[in-house]
Structure 1
């Protein structure tokens, strides 16, 4: 009989004991295995010895800060890392991404959101490499401004079509509202940043009406939007 695979192992590096335990409780309730460390200088050796599937890494840690942990980790491992931080300055976010973090979540946060982020990153990273056959979920006809998701037609305006094309073309990339506005209209009309928010809301609603299982478009606080849904299915 085939042996059942163990649940993914999540390493939580968080120096606030109560917050760390809260994450442990929610992740275990979602059927993940967990290990909680209070110090950054313990994380690298533990990761080497135990091969976790994902690391939740606080930015401000005793012993070794989160950015240094992530930088050193990338010298020997592609372990997915979600940075957890109370510092919301854009430079910290960008620096974290440059050294190889896979995602950010800012304090205060909902533990359910953390579980959702973990699920999304693991789904992306833990696919068996031998499953190489893919079929596209998103199809776009630029000449007709027509799009479909999983063979279901999407009724999009030209502006929504352009937004979808821009975001889905580079999954995971954060686009600022200004960048998205530059892709939206070709007649140089004067619009506000909030125009993007309205179009994103409508686009997200239409996509989610066809597939409620996908995260599709995520807002990144203080920065803009990014595409998170898988555009291909493994078969």
Structure 2
């Protein structure tokens, strides 16, 4: 199945590029390697990749320019920069996810699979969980026909969790979705929005049945009740 998925790696560091290519090849992905922005532009002009794994600091400029220039592509940003400002800019660039170096190949693969899964899930129009119905087209949440008002950030998180179908999503993954929808990339934003969502959909917010905390990993939406 993965042999039909083409991924572009834009990375000038040979060791990191090798780690990415080796891990992706082992999973059956088709991989193209380039080392700078100019080569990436040439590749992107010829092929619509399923995903671009992009280093931010390249020999001929900032990788973020590619995200803005080719905004119809899906990007996973990777960089050694981990300051709050760097992360915020990464979240707001339009990228799908953000990976801090050094990283384990397993983390890279996990994030790539999440991105590809979420892209596929975007074709789904509505998702039901328990008594709730989430309409992804109209951005509404209802229970027995009664609408519950959600902010853009709350909807973004709930849509991500519902689309993940019981899988655990990290705070960083959820924060990217929030930042793209509302522009709020503060690290504590996810926890605040989760708390608000629980007050709106849980019968007992302090003992949630829907939005579950997975210690050390993130959050997931319960499959069934």
Please state which band the TM-score falls in when normalised by the shorter chain. Answer: 0.5 to 0.7
Q: 1-side partners of 2:94 and 2:117: how far apart?
A: 18
1: distance between equivalents of 2:97 and 2:222? 16
Q: Could you list the per-position Cα deviations for residues 151-203 of structure 1 after superposition, in whole angstroms to 9, with x for gaps in the alignment?
A: xxxxxxxxxxxxxx8884253336616625864999xxxxxxxxx9xx9xx93
Gaps of 5+ in 1: 142-164, 187-195, 207-216, 220-226
Q: In 2, Cα distance between the equivalents of 1:118 and 1:65?
A: 22
TM-score, length of structure 2 as denominator length = 0.62
1: CA distance, partners of 2:6 / 2:116: 10
The one of 150, 163, 169 aligned to 2:158: 169
- Is this contact kept in 2: 1:105–1:114, CA < 8 A? yes
Q: Does 1:56 align with 2:53?
A: yes
Contact 2:5-2:50 at 8 Å conserved across structures: yes
Judged with a 3 Å threshold, the aligned counterparts in structure 2 of structure 1 residues 68 and 5 are, in CA distance, closer, same or farther, namely closer
Q: Where in structure 2 are there 5+ consecutive unaligned residues?
A: 133-153, 161-176, 179-184, 200-205
**Aligned residue number for residue 109 of structure 2:** 115
Question: Do the aligned residues in 1 keep the contact of 2:212 with 2:220 (CA within 8 Å)?
Answer: no
Correspondence for 1:45 among 32, 42, 46: 42
Counting matched residue pairs gives: 169
Q: Relative to 1, partners in 2 of residues 1:112 and 1:84: Cα closer, same or farther, differing over 3 Å?
A: same
Cα contact 1:9–1:54 (8 A) shared by 2: yes
Q: 1:42 to 1:88 in 2, by over 3 A?
A: same
Structure number, greater radius of gyration: 1
Secondary structure at the residue paired with 2:4? Answer: coil
How far has the Cα of 1:64 moved from its partner? 2.6
